[in-house]
């Protein structure tokens, strides 16, 4: 089947087998290897991307279902060398160690913040329940998400707003 997907701002048209998972299409065909596969049962969330602004585990979606969709991966978050505030917060708060869960964790965190711009600790933990990390014990991930929330909030000051403005709307998630 012929599909067209826009990934991180570039449109790609390909023939795919109907059974091809979106994550395999992204990785194998489009070279978007920043998105990774961590399990076979959609438990780990390592493959999370945004499809039309909402987080989706890309191992649980067929490529053909994404025909016409706008997809953002972790590779498409930074703009003009400027990290997304969530990426920056993950770095600043040491919210990653091996980094394998990180692409999915960042994409899910952005989605979470779109739904709840000021989550308390329990809300962050609940919102990330579908993304597994084996290295960090989640403590610094929770801290990073709340830090990012503070940076992205309307009163967060000119620096945070400038970063937020630099991003394309679809990268924010949950519009």
Partner 1 sequence: MTATAEPEIGRARARKEDARLITGRTRWTDNLALPGMLHLAILRSPVAHARITRIDTEAARTMPNVLDVLTGADIADAQGSLPCAWPITPDMKAPNAPSLAVDTVNFAGEAVAVVVARDAYAADDALQAIDVDYEDLPVVLDMAEAVKDGAELAHPDLGTNVSAVWTFDSAEAGSGGDVESAISDAEVLVRRTFRQQRLIPAFMEPRSVVVDPTGEQLTMWSATQIPHILRLMLAMTLGLPEQKIRVIAPDVGGGFGGKLQVTPEEVIAVLVAQRTGRPVKYTESRTDSLLAAHHGRDQIQHLTLSAKRDGTVTGLKVELLADMGAYLRLVTPGVPILGAFMFNSIYKFPAYHFSCTNVFTNKTPTDAYRGAGRPEATFGIERMMDELAAELGMDPMDVRRKNWIAHEEFPFTTVAGLTYDSGNYEAATAKATALFDYAGLRAEQKRRRDAGDPVQLGLGISTFTEMCGLAPSRVLGSLSYGAGGWEHAAIRMLPTGKVEVVTGSSAHGQGHETAWSQVVADKLGVPFEDIEVIHGDTQSSPKGMDTYGSRSLTVGAIAVLGAADKVIGKAKTVAAHLMECAEDDLEFAEGKFTVRGTESATSIQDVALAVFAAHDLPDGMEPSLDSEATYDPENFSFPHGTHLCATEVDTETGQVRIRAYVCVDDVGTVVNPLIVDGQVHGGLAQGIAQALFEEAVHDEGGTLTTATFADYTLPSAADLPSFTTDRTETPSTTNPLGVKGVGEAGTIASTPAVVNAVVDAIRHLGVTDVEMPCTPMRVWRAIQNGAAR
Residue ranges that bind partner 1, judged by CB under 8 A: 17, 19-20, 24, 27-28, 32-41, 43-44, 46, 73-75, 77-78, 83, 87, 90-92, 94, 96-103, 106, 121, 124-126, 128-142
Return the number of the residue (1 or 68) whose C-beta is nearest partner 1. 1
Q: Is the dihedral of CA 135, 36, 59, 175 positive or negative?
A: positive
User: Residue 44's Cα: distance from chain center in Å?
Assistant: 14
Dihedral angle computed from the Cα positions of residues 66, 70, 76 and 77, in that order, rounded to the nearest 10 degrees: -120
Return the number of the residue (22 or 133) whose C-beta is nearest partner 1. 133
Least distance from partner 1 to the Cβ atom of residue 43, Å: 4
Least distance from partner 1 to the Cβ atom of residue 121, Å: 7
Least distance from partner 1 to the Cβ atom of residue 74, Å: 4
Instruction: Identify how many contiguous H helices and E strands the chain contains and give both numbers.
Output: 6, 5
- Residue pair 58/130 in contact by the 8 Å Cβ criterion: no
Least distance from partner 1 to the Cβ atom of residue 52, Å: 20
Q: How far apart are CA 87 and CA 167, in angstroms?
A: 13
Return the number of the residue (15 or 155) whose C-beta is nearest partner 1. 15
Return the number of the residue (32 or 167) whose C-beta is nearest partner 1. 32
Return the number of the residue (83 or 156) whose C-beta is nearest partner 1. 83
DSSP 27-77: IIIT--TTS----SSS-S-TTEEEETTEEEETTSSBGGGGTT-EEE-GGGS
Least distance from partner 1 to the Cβ atom of residue 25, Å: 12
* The two three-digit tokens of residue 126, written as one number: 């609940």
């Amino acid at each position: 089947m012929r599909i067209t997907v826009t990934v991180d701002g570039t449109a790609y048209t390909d023939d795919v087998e109907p059974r091809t998972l979106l994550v395999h299409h992204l990785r194998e065909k489009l070279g978007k290897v920043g998105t990774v596969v961590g399990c076979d049962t959609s438990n780990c969330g390592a493959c999370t991307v945004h499809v039309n602004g909402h987080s989706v585990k890309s191992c649980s979606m067929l490529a053909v279902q994404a025909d016409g969709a706008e997809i953002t991966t972790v590779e498409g978050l930074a703009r003009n060398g400027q990290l997304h505030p969530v990426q920056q917060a993950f770095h600043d708060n040491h919210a990653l160690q091996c980094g394998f869960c990180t692409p999915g964790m960042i994409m899910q965190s952005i989605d979470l913040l779109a739904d709840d711009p000021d989550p308390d600790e329990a809300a962050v933990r609940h919102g990330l329940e579908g993304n597994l990390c084996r290295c960090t014990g989640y403590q610094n991930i929770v801290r990073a998400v709340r830090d990012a929330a503070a940076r992205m909030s309307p009163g967060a000051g000119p620096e945070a707003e400038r970063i937020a403005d630099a991003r394309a709307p679809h990268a924010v998630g949950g519009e």
